[in-house]
Structure 1
Amino acid sequence: MPLDDASERLAGIRDRIARAARLAQREPQSVALVAVSKMHDADAIRPLIDAGQRVFGENRVQEAQGKWPALRDEAPGLELHLVGQLQSNKAGEAVALFDAIHSVDRPSLVTALARAMDHDGRRPACFVQVNIGAEDQKGGCAVDALPELLSQARAADLPLAGLMCVPPLELEPAPYFALLAKIARDHGLDGLSMGMSGDFETAVTIGATHVRIGTALFGAHA
């Protein structure tokens, strides 16, 4: 993707975030744009870095390990977020590489992350993923199991940033975003990782603090 295209797409997304934020009487800078670069190589990512994007998201630890150390050497100050599912046996690698993890969803992962953080001395921000639509095929903690998981995360001293969700694909997302926002408030959490390329403006009007944008920035996968 040429730099001009990257700059244009990035400016367009930032404008849409700003408009949605103002609609909700929020400051546009209160919303972090996470550019989801999964399945895109370093050559596809560099133009967005050159255009000024600083926060990126990846789905898999192994894929991120293959491209981000070199990219970070080229452009210090980048932030890397894990937005996909995380296996407990990869917790150490995730803690070493990522600045935030958006998919904490079970007690065994809480334990593994806490152990890795103590070992590494790094403390990436953690979002607990909620299976907001109670979908069997999706990751995330069940809504009724969330209080217990949050208690375990706090007892393990995980740096809790907030909650994350992916609403059901074919349904209007606003009620699910509103439910996640209410649950977060009820538990004293400020961060809301919600909203992707097709619904991020709705998410921003409902309080998203982090939107995860892939296709709208990088284009559809071939």
Structure 2
Amino acid sequence: MRWSAVPLLLCVVLAAGCASRTAVPEPTLEPVARDASSLVTSLVARVEGQYSVRFDAETAMSGRKVRAEGGLVRSRDARLVMLREDNVEVVVLPDAGYLRSDGGSWTRLGRTDRAGVKSGVAVDGLADEVDPRSVVSALRGSLVVETGDESLDGVPTHRYTMLVDLRSQAEQTSDVTHRSQLLAAYESGFTATAVLWVGPGGLPVRVEQVLKTLEDNIFQRTQHRFTNWNTDLRIVAPTR
């Protein structure tokens, strides 16, 4: 009967080990960045290392709001996007784009064709409007004026409030129309502020930018939210 005591003792040890196991620690925030340059550089590097992300964006101007939602996948040599804006759906692949409205048939588009969204951007530039890398990179040259901690939907974040240099932002913009708009706003005396929320892993959770007129009236407010990093997101050519 002595041999049976060994597995019994082993079971007791294992049970004790299971009872004393500690929980996996929750993700923690990175240290607060000292300036916008180091913050943006760090965020861009972190974002580039991620495979996929889900996004939603909202732009409000002159009493009208435009909302978009979808997902982005970063492949070895391209960025794939699926996006829905009101009744318009767009899919962007490395060689082409696809567009449909009101659930109708899909139309194949070339990379230089307009994507069918309200911004008027071409298929080739649609990823820049929703990619967190592009959204964060646009804040280069800004000045951090305030920092703090805030929880967004249960996620702990560092909050950065910034003054935005519109001329610097225009110089970094690849879309010609958007660049002209930013330069016109700068020359008209418009001012811009941004608030950036950075969550665990040093990844952006939300980015909000407000553009005000010379009279300090809000002209435009744009907000991007990013969630579900590295989920199993598949973007393929539509079949119908």
Query: Rg larger in 1 or in 2?
Result: 2
> Higher strand fraction: Structure 1 or Structure 2?
2
**TM-score after normalising by structure 1:** 0.31
Whose helix proportion is higher, 1 or 2?
Answer: 1
TM-score calculated relative to the size of structure 2? 0.30
